[in-house]
Amino acid sequence: MDAAVSVRSESFDLGVEMAALTAGRSDVGAVASFVGLVRQLGEGQPLLSMTLEHYPGMTEAALAEIVVEAGARWPLLAVRVIHRHGTLAPGDPIVLVLVAAAHRGEAFAACEFIMDYLKTRAPFWKKEATAAGGRWVDARDSDDSAAARWS
């Protein structure tokens, strides 16, 4: 399995990453992907920005471990994970997960698995800024239950 993870402040382009993942190979029948974006708040003050803090070193190791675990569960051909840190605006992409496999079932399952595990195991924290000030985002119980269904 060709696997790469990166944590960086720069954005990414899904088409470019997709092309790089499948370049020169014809054994890939399915690529499932996920992009998470900064979403405007549903209520209260509008979101001005979102800042992502992380734990350098541990973050990369945690992401790599999640990918290895996915590769042990499904026959994957290539995986790419990019997670941004720093200050982002509403609409900006935060995270990308791309999974290439021979068939769609395993590509979908592994992509969702990686996102679910990333949400509960990768050391990132989000802080929302509105005109009223900054507020750390609370962890969601639904993320714990999403991750738990794979064990």
Partner 1 sequence: MVKILYFAGLREAVGTAREDITLEAGVADIAALRRQLAARGEPWAALTRGRSLRAALNQQMVGDAAALKDGDEVAFFPPVTGG
Binding site for its own copies (CB under 8 A): 13-16, 18, 22, 25-40, 47, 90-91, 102, 104-105, 107-108, 111-112, 115, 142, 146
* Helix intervals (H) in 33-127: 58-73, 104-121
90: exposed, middle or buried (C-beta count within 10 Å: 0-12, 13-18, 19+)? middle
Question: Pattern 20-39, binding to partner 1, x per CB under 8 A?
Answer: ----------------x---
* Token pair of 59 as six digits: 């973050």
Site string for partner 1, 59-98 (x = CB under 8 A): --xx--------------------x----------xx---
Tokens 């790469």 label which residue?
A: 4
Best CA proximity match to 12, nearest among 64, 68, 88? 88
Residue number, 58 or 136, with CB nearest to its own copies: 136
Stretch of residues binding partner 1 (CB under 8 A), selected from 15-23, 39-47, 66-74, 135-143? 135-143
The counts of H helices and E strands in the chain are 4, 8
- What CA–CA distance (Å, rounded) separates 94 from 28? 26
Residue matched to tokens 């900054």: 134
From its own copies, partner 1, none, which one binds at residue 124 (CB under 5 to 8 Å depending on kind)? Answer: partner 1
Q: Which of 96, 109, 79 is nearest to 37 (CA)?
A: 96
Binder to partner 1 among 139, 145, 148, 150 (CB under 8 A)?
A: 139
Binding-site size for partner 1 (CB under 8 A) equals 29
Residues near partner 1, by CB under 8 A? 36, 52-55, 57-58, 61-62, 83, 94-95, 104, 115, 118-127, 136-140
